[in-house]
Structure 1
């Protein structure tokens, strides 16, 4: 379970540091010559931080 948390955390940290790259990985490959809006980039950062905190503060798993 910790391995999955680490992988997801890396992807979320990419979303925090470089939300444009996160957009290109998730949505940008579908379109040609389109950039994400500032609102989308800010929303991606906020959502990534919230999900990262939730992932590391919750205890989920089979024990």
Structure 2
């Protein structure tokens, strides 16, 4: 079960790390019109995505 959860976290974290704009659109962008995320918020999303990837890998490969 933890492997499945780890895989889900890894996929969502990878999306956030690779394309923070897409992650922002999925989370907030659909609620507002003609809004753009700030560079600081995009950096925050990218960093949390990398952290989520690490946590996902730990869950997948831990005993």
Q: Which has the higher contact order (CA 8 A, sep 6+)?
A: 2
Question: What are the ranges of 5 or more consecutive residues in structure 1 without an aligned counterpart?
Answer: none
The TM-score with structure 2 as length reference comes to: 0.80
The TM-score with structure 1 as length reference comes to: 0.80
Bigger helix share: 2
Question: What are the ranges of 5 or more consecutive residues in structure 2 without an aligned counterpart?
Answer: none
| Number of residue equivalences | 60
Q: Give the ranges of 4+ consecutive aligned residues of structure 1 lying more than 3 Å apart after TM superposition.
A: none
